[in-house]
Chain A
Amino acid sequence: MTGLRIDNLAIRLPKGGDRTHALSGITLAVAPGEILCVVGESGSGKSVTASAVMGLLAPGLMVEQGSVTLNGQDLLALTPEQWRTTRGERIAMVFQEPMTALNPLMTVGRQLAEMWIVHRGLSRRDALARAEAALTEVQLPDPAGALNAFPHELSGGQRQRVMIAMALALEPELLICDEPTTALDVTTQAQVLTLIRDLQRRHNTAVMFITHDFGVVAEIADRVAVMQLGRLVEEGPAAQVLKAPQHPYTQALLAAVPPLNAPAARLAGSGEPVLELDGLTKTYASRGIFRRRKPVRALDGISATLRRGTTLGIVGESGSGKSTLARCVVGLMGLDGGAIRIAGRPLPPDRQKAAHLAQMVFQDPYASLNPRRSVGAQVAQGPIAAGTPRDAAWAEARRLFSLVGLDPDSVRRYPHEFSGGQRQRIGIARALAMKPEVLVADEPVSALDVSVQAQVLALLRELQAQLGLSILFITHDLRVAAQLCDEVVVMQNGRVAEAGPVAEVFTNPRHAYTQSLLAAVPGRAVLEG
């Protein structure tokens, strides 16, 4: 029996949760040289599965029945002492956020070399030589230089490469990847996925790859296991599960993946411009006595126009300046140059007057609501400050709650009583309460599960049709942009790389950067083919 086998595993949750078991009756196998993708939404139990295999179950979780074996050895029976040699040597893990998994005070070379010094007893010099070879293997641009770099001096993609080098250092039999590319840009993600695939083939490693993204599954999986609420609902070869899903849940998940090809152009509003951006510039200078870093041009002459009743998408990778742009439009940040005009007028410096021109929906549904105030108060407070009587503002808040698909009676509740998708609806209601000319949505769906994401996108489309909203939609996800936007602006390093109607830009990209972005969208060949 080779590889990892999970047999009829059940894990109990502590009493008082919303269900009794984190996992019930999970049976999975990963053979050497194979990549098994475990897919599911949040709460499906995919991460618990990984931590059970690593022997790192959170306190309170208890294995009720079943077995986990690696090449015939029972992992559940290992003592803490045996676990110490098993982890790292036989089972390795790559995490979602490489910055928290690396020690910020140690150079990359020392952290990597430690693997061989501790586990293999190599001398420091030999271990460093191995480390450099490993960094070469993960295709870091300057392996010798990276040895002496601290984690914060590397980019996110480079840090993830270091983590992969560290995970594969001792040639483990099993590699567990827990959403390793979720925090990365789409082009970097594509490179890291290729790298994992290559190395896994070369070392004949069994890989258990945890993800929520079907695009990633399509890129990397040999076999797919779909989980829902702690149960395994479907398992099979990747091509079969993706092309001909059997279980209704898998079908629903796949249907919720937004297609990349844009729908036919819709009637584009009245055509009158409501938001005009004219040559915006914004530079972040580093402050302090020692100006070590070069000033960064976050916005470098951005011009764009949003027409009334339409959606203008701003797409780009991290560092492209798209979030800075959003913040400037709603007045959270001052400009260095250029002008923003909303409904023909420049953005007034007075916060209260600006509130009726632009409102924003934020990315993180957990950080964008005040945990200590009732959600209704947070929706009504803006109109109240603008002079609406209290009763009218609360009545309006209740009306908005039903408009965004929430129970109007829930206005008295507190944010922690709502799910992520519901919170995002509250955020939309809060923005709409001010009746803004322009709604700025900064990655409003990127923190949500794919099925919830589809619901929120549908809501935004519905509201736009109903209220004639003009939306400035910031996103890194080209699939989402294709679904919602009428026109897109592709940003790169603070400049506009390409702009135009979404169907035209996505089917006929002219700029090399747009082309590379589109090519990197995971799962294109399989899901769109």
Chain B
Amino acid sequence: MRALKAFFRSPPAIIGLLLVLAVVVMGLVAPVLYPNDPLGLAGRPLQWPGANPRFPLGTDPSGRDIAAQLFHGARISLLIGFVATSIAVAIGILVGALAGFYGGVTDTVLMRVTEAFQTLPNFLLLLVLVAVFGSTLEVVTVAIGLVSWPPVARLTRAEFLSLRTREFVHAARIQGLPDWHLIFREVLPNALPPVIVYASVVMAVAILLESSLAFLQLSDPNVPSWGNLIGLGRSVLRTEWYVSAIPGVAILLSILGVSLLGQGLNDALNPRLAPR
């Protein structure tokens, strides 16, 4: 209750929430507004936005409706964002919590594995995964999650390292509580705020990574993603720049929304920052 109040008192958080909600609504109304296949041919290619009232945002080089792709693309971006972030955060928290809480050999082994993942540029790793396992939507999503967890793990570990020696953790230990309680009930809630904020970064990066893949035409070509649309506009970037710019603005605004939302959540979830 108190957290909610604090959240709604912060203008950036509300803007973030509105932007994310806008993307969600776009995804929800897409099948109603554009019941036909957004990848189907709709009209003459490369019509400028506003030139034809049937296509308020114009058509792409293949003659497909950009507005339809934008609305349907919102679903794909959100899906990839949420699922890939959940995978990355789950792996990252688990690895980081175990390494930070137990220390010693556990920490050394887990951190060397994390570093192995981190030393590879994550986009290259993503390309390899997609090249090996194919470029369906599922593979792309899981692959993005798999390349995004190391920073989450390092962040969680750092928080755990400083929190595990706090007196309240000692107190719980002396009370005879098992390790899982110490990790998940005592330490994790206190370690979570920076991880939540970072999760919004991961989500933004996940959306971007998919767009980058699509730009290289390595993402799933059978789904109407924003990245695919930018990729399609690449060849006509100098003359019909709107083909790439419109989905680009959509990506920009949704990433901004996700980041503001994450920051707002952090401020609201912290009981010490909340006004009484």
Contacts and interface: CB of A to CB of B under 8 A. Distances in A.
Given A364-B167, A381-B181, A385-B181, A372 B176 contact: no
Contacts of A433: 175
B9 interface: no
Given A332-B170, A362-B170, A381-B181, A371 B176 contact: no
Interface in B160-182: 166-168, 170-178, 181
The B interface, classified by DSSP as helix, strand, loop or mixed, is helix
A434 B175 contact: yes
A370 B186 contact: yes
A231 to B, nearest CB: 25
Interface in B25-78: none
A373 B174 contact: no
A430 B171 contact: yes
Contacts of B172: 370, 378, 381-382
A370 B190 contact: yes
A362 B170 CA distance: 9
Contacts of A363: 167
Contact of B176 (A355, A362, A367): A355
Contact of A359 (B166, B174, B185, B186): B174
B176 A352 contact: yes
Given A416-B271, A416-B272, A370 B168 contact: yes
Interface in A322-361: 330-332, 351-356, 358-360
Nearest to A362: B167
Q: Which among A330, A356, A363, A433 has the highest number of chain B CB atoms within 10 Å? A: A330
B167 A367 contact: yes
A146 interface: no
B121 interface: no
B237 to A, nearest CB: 49
A368 interface: yes
Q: Which among B168, B175, B189, B272 has the highest number of chain A CB atoms within 10 Å? A: B175
Contacts of A352: 176, 178
A372 B171 contact: no
Nearest to B189: A372
A56 interface: no
Contacts of A368: 167-168, 171
B177 A382 contact: yes
Contacts of B168: 367-370, 378
Given A351-B176, A359-B175, A360-B171, A367 B181 contact: no
The A interface, classified by DSSP as helix, strand, loop or mixed, is loop
A404 to B, nearest CB: 15
A131 B271 CA distance: 48
Nearest to A359: B174
B100 to A, nearest CB: 17
Nearest to B275: A16
A369 B186 CA distance: 10
A316 interface: no
Contacts of B185: 373, 381
Contacts of A430: 171, 175
B33 to A, nearest CB: 43
B184 to A, nearest CB: 12
Nearest to A427: B171
A367 B175 contact: no
A83 interface: no
A355 B175 CA distance: 5
Interface in A233-259: none
A493 B276 CA distance: 47
Contact of A381 (B175, B189, B272): B175
A334 to B, nearest CB: 13
A513 interface: no
A386 interface: yes
Nearest to A366: B167
Contacts of A330: 174
Contacts of B173: 332, 351
Contacts of B170: 332, 360, 362
A414 interface: yes
Interface in A377-409: 378, 381-382, 385-386
Nearest to A377: B185
Nearest to A367: B167
A351 B186 CA distance: 16
A351 B171 CA distance: 12
Q: Which among B174, B181, B272 has the highest number of chain A CB atoms within 10 Å? A: B174
Contact of B271 (A371, A378, A427): A371
Contacts of B189: 370, 372-373
Given A372-B190, A373-B185, A382 B176 contact: yes
A330 B172 CA distance: 12
Contacts of B171: 360, 362, 368-369, 378, 427, 430
Contact of A354 (B176, B181, B186, B272): B176
A309 B166 CA distance: 30
Nearest to B193: A372
A397 to B, nearest CB: 12
B271 A332 contact: no
B175 A414 contact: no
A359 to B, nearest CB: 6
A514 to B, nearest CB: 30
A427 to B, nearest CB: 7
Nearest to B269: A372
Contact of B175 (A369, A371, A382, A417): A382
11 contacts: A351-B177, A355-B176, A362-B167, A368-B171, A370-B186, A371-B272, A382-B176, A385-B177, A385-B181, A414-B271, A433-B175
Interface of B: 166-168, 170-178, 181, 185-186, 189-190, 271-272, 276
Given A351-B178, A367-B168, A371-B272, 18 more contacts: A330-B174, A331-B174, A332-B170, A354-B174, A354-B176, A359-B175, A360-B174, A362-B170, A362-B171, A368-B168, A371-B190, A373-B186, A378-B168, A381-B185, A382-B175, A385-B178, A414-B271, A427-B171
- Closest A-B pairs by Cβ, 4 of them: A355-B176, A382-B175, A352-B176, A368-B167
